[in-house]
Amino acid sequence: MPDEFDPQAMVARFRDRAAAVRDRGLPPVEGPERRRFMEQAQTDFMDFAMVGDAEASLDDGILTLRIDLRPRSEDRS
């Protein structure tokens, strides 16, 4: 593990990946391939967005990602 690893930068890269998946267009495919592409894009977005929302810490060489999956409430934003 490089000494210059920045967990916050990693989280930011995942946030950027989520935005890229959300904004990318569909390739010119039809039928079942189109549906599979759209399903995979949704899964990719969800995974990237969750990591992009994580609180990351690196303690003694252990990367910890804390991801709150509870529904947002008005008092928690």
How much is the average pLDDT of 18-36? 91
Q: Is residue 77 part of a domain?
A: no
> Which domain, by its residues, includes 62?
7-66
Q: What pLDDT shows up at residue 4?
A: 84
pLDDT at 26: 84
Instruction: Write the single-letter amino acid at 22.
Output: R
Residue 8: name the closest of 64, 60, 46 by CA.
64
Report the domain count for the chain: 1
Residue at 47 is within a domain: yes
pLDDT for 42:
95
Query: How many other C-beta atoms lie within 10 A of the C-beta of residue 18?
Result: 20
Q: Is residue 1 in some structural domain? A: no
Using one digit for the tens of pLDDT, what is the confidence trace for 45-71?
A: 999 999 999 999 999 989 999 999 888
Look at 24 and 1; give whichever has higher pLDDT: 24
H or E segment and range at residue 38: helix 31-52
- With respect to residue 33, please indicate whether it lies within any of the assigned structural domains: yes
Position 49 in a domain: yes
CB-based contacts of 36: which residues, under 8 Å, 6+ apart?
A: none
What is the reported pTM? Answer: 0.77
Rounded to 10 degrees, the C-alpha dihedral 25/27/29/33 comes to: -80
Confirm whether 74 is domain-assigned.
no
**Is the pLDDT score of 25 beyond 70?**
yes
